[in-house]
A = this chain, B = another copy of it.
Amino acid sequence: MKFEIMRHRLLDGLNDVMKAVSSKTTIPILTGIKLELTDEGLKLTGSDSDITIQTIIKAEEDGEQVIRVIEEGSIVVQARMFNEIIRKLPTSDVEIEVKENYHTHIRSGKSKFHLIGQEASEYPLLPEVLDDRQFVIPADLVKSIVRETVFAVATSESRPVLTGVLWQVKDGELTCVATDSHRLARRKISLEQALEGEYNVVIPGKSLNELSKIIGESSQPVNIAITNQQVLFKTEDVSLYSRLLEGNYPDTSRLIPTEYKTIVTMNGKALFQAIDRASLLAREERNNIVRLSSLEGNTVEISSSSPEIGEVEEEIQSTSIEGEEIKISFSAKYMMEALRALDGHDVIVQFTGAMRPFILNSVHDDTVLQLIVPVRTY
């Protein structure tokens, strides 16, 4: 294998695949990345066996030569070291050549590196993904789904299936649900092309976070293919394979109340900031609980106290309060994360009493639902 490549393009590719490489892997070859060179371009693969990311750097892009392919071939090189070397090389071009015994020479200006590589065929093969169970979502919408749901997954491994997000395809609609049993986040999307049949897969939260980092802000299509144990997200340049979580995801539909006794409409940003301030004192008590009370004249009071430190109270003018009076306590962290997922828009908060879960929606868009289970204090 021998080629010359524009250094910044190689760095962009490495930047993507390095996200899948973990130093904690138990499979030694996965501390490396695989380089495969053909006339078409250079394919890079990185994996921690849960997530695999593959990217292709085309030899020619928009008529510009990115790679000068001298001899096709493949190699596995130590990922972190290779990435740091490429990052620190002195010139804008890099020459890479593999000689006998997988000795890999890297040249740039007057700097010469020589790394001991490994046989590419020893690198694990990618899972096969069939073409029949596929659908397409624009990249920016995928990023929204991730932002609106993943924060609500469980972080403890006591129920592993809750560390993932349920993606449910049914009747031309995708529903994504995450819950740690104290709060729940749900996003619904109408799919442009209807899929035959029904699919339920649970994708690890971590995989979705990495996905969100490697796909751009654009509306370019992301092709999503589901198999029994894997999901593949594929854009023009990058593919991310993730294993799926096993186990039955709980039925969450009954958690969501169907009727409400108090409905408050207010500015999401003002509510977020008031809770952020109130949580300064709540945090000291380690439970991070703040109180919300409806007052006269469409006023909402946010308060918190800590016997040793002091107390805080703040009034927010809401747009409207309908129904019964409400006094309720909840986790400031959960509320702030839910409001952040609703992106600062005006929100409708619907309560069914101080002991029942309450939900938040954006005024402008009911495809995103955030649910929070209150804390018993009143």
Please give the residue numbers on chain A whose beta carbons come within 8 Å of chain B beta carbons, in ascending order.
78, 81, 84-85, 88-90, 103-104, 110-116, 273-274, 276-277, 280-281, 284, 308-316
Can you give 8 contacting A-B residue pairs, CB < 8 Å? A81-B281, A81-B309, A88-B280, A111-B312, A111-B314, A112-B312, A112-B313, A115-B310
A81-B284, A280-B81 in contact; A88/B273 too (CB < 8 A)?
A: yes
Please name all residues of chain B whose beta carbon is closer than 8 Å to the beta carbon of A89 when the two chains form the complex. Answer: 277
Nearest Cβ on chain B to A164's Cβ, whole angstroms: 34
Q: Which 10 residue pairs of A and B lie closest in terms of their CB atoms, listed nearest first?
A: A115-B310, A111-B314, A110-B315, A113-B312, A114-B310, A88-B277, A114-B311, A116-B310, A84-B280, A112-B313
Nearest Cβ on chain B to A81's Cβ, whole angstroms: 6
Contact B311 A273 (CB under 8 A): no
Contact B116 A308 (CB under 8 A): yes
A110-B314, A274-B111, A277-B111 in contact; A309/B116 too (CB < 8 A)?
A: yes
Indicate how many identical chains form the complex: 2
Please name all residues of chain B whose beta carbon is closer than 8 Å to the beta carbon of A280 when the two chains form the complex. Answer: 81, 84-85, 88
Cα A377 to Cα B281 in complex, Å, equals 58
Cα A110 to Cα B89 in complex, Å, equals 56
A81-B280, A85-B280, A284-B81 in contact; A310/B113 too (CB < 8 A)?
A: yes
Task: Please name the residue on chain B nearest to A273 by beta carbon.
Answer: B90
Nearest Cβ on chain B to A294's Cβ, whole angstroms: 15
Task: Please name the residue on chain B nearest to A303 by beta carbon.
Answer: B112
Nearest Cβ on chain B to A77's Cβ, whole angstroms: 9
Please name all residues of chain B whose beta carbon is closer than 8 Å to the beta carbon of A313 when the two chains form the complex. Answer: 112
Task: Please name the residue on chain B nearest to A84 by beta carbon.
Answer: B280
Cα A371 to Cα B115 in complex, Å, equals 32
Please name all residues of chain B whose beta carbon is closer than 8 Å to the beta carbon of A115 when the two chains form the complex. Answer: 309-310
A81-B281, A111-B314, A116-B310 provided; 6 other pairs, C-beta below 8 A?
A110-B315, A111-B277, A111-B312, A112-B313, A114-B310, A115-B309
Contact B309 A85 (CB under 8 A): no
Cα A114 to Cα B314 in complex, Å, equals 12
Task: Please name the residue on chain B nearest to A116 by beta carbon.
Answer: B310
Cα A268 to Cα B90 in complex, Å, equals 15
Contact A309 B78 (CB under 8 A): yes
Please name all residues of chain B whose beta carbon is closer than 8 Å to the beta carbon of A78 when the two chains form the complex. Answer: 309
Nearest Cβ on chain B to A60's Cβ, whole angstroms: 29
Please name all residues of chain B whose beta carbon is closer than 8 Å to the beta carbon of A84 when the two chains form the complex. Answer: 280
Nearest Cβ on chain B to A14's Cβ, whole angstroms: 14
